[in-house]
Chains A and B, each alone.
Chain A
Amino acid sequence: MIRPTIVIVFSLAGVACALTLVFLSMRSVMDVGGFCAEGGPYEIAQHCPQGVPGVMVGSLLGGIVLAFVYVGQVLWRGIPSLAGLLWPALFLSLGWNFLEYAFDPPGTGGGIVWGWLISGIVFMVMGGLPLLVMLPATVRAFTREAERPQGWPVGMPLAHMQRVAARVQPAGANAGMVDELERLAKLHERGALDDDEYAAAKRRLL
């Protein structure tokens, strides 16, 4: 209990930390016009805010690694989790930045920045649509565990599990019928059932 708690707390806190850093880094770059550069042999028109390139690269790479650690842990141990909300959190937070800066761009007389507006809408859709599925699934994972068949990954939509379960069910039923047919055949061979009884029993079963 202690070990998984430590791993999950540190990995999830790391992911949340990384998402926050990406969010803030993006805002600081948009504050200087939306693009910047560092290094290389070229004359740089717009330098990046101090420390931001390192923060952005480090948080993206670190966040991906820690997200894999977190998701792996909760799936492996069957722990209800917030894993399904990570993707929406990333895209909705960055989409918010795009939309906010699209309507209120820094250093200009106003007006809408259409490139940022379109990017914001795309990001909102990419984060919002999965959220419609994953938010109810996450709430369910923390509230109604009984509905979840044992061994299913937490966060998988219930409707999908039910569809798969419906496909699995007939296989189980058929397996039971085969067993029953074999049992009837043995009874028939032993003479416990005559031909008519055996045929009638088989008809009932089939």
Chain B
Amino acid sequence: MSAGLRLYWLVVQLAAVAGGIYGGWRLFEWAT
């Protein structure tokens, strides 16, 4: 796997984590 592809997966997964944390926080605010 090339360095570029590894960087792609790192960015994609970090963005997913950030989005998930933000979404979880907003969801908690809405649900409680």
Contacts and interface: CB of A to CB of B under 8 A. Distances in A.
A16 B32 contact: no
A54 B16 CA distance: 24
B17 A13 contact: yes
A169 interface: no
A43 B21 CA distance: 36
Interface in A19-34: 19-21, 24-25, 28
Interface string B1-28: 1010011011011111111110111011
A28 B20 CA distance: 20
Contacts of A16: 16-21, 24
Given A81-B13, A142-B10, A20 B32 contact: no
Interface of A is mostly: helix
Contacts of A21: 24, 27-28
A142 B24 contact: no
Chain A interface size band reads 20 to 34
Secondary structure at the B interface, as helix, strand, loop or mixed, is: helix
Contacts, number: 83
Contacts of B20: 12-20
B13 to A, nearest CB: 5
Given A17-B20, A20-B20, A8 B28 contact: no
A157 interface: no
Interface stretch (A45-53, A110-118, A193-201): A45-53
Interface residues of B, number: 23
Contact of B6 (A19, A24, A145): A145
A4 to B, nearest CB: 9
Interface of A: 5, 8-10, 12-21, 24-25, 28, 49-52, 54-55, 59, 78-82, 142-143, 145
Interface of B: 1, 3, 6-7, 9-10, 12-21, 23-25, 27-28, 31-32
23 contacts: A8-B12, A9-B12, A9-B13, A9-B16, A9-B19, A10-B16, A12-B13, A12-B17, A12-B20, A16-B18, A17-B23, A17-B27, A19-B20, A20-B20, A20-B28, A21-B24, A24-B25, A50-B32, A54-B31, A80-B10, A82-B13, A142-B6, A142-B9
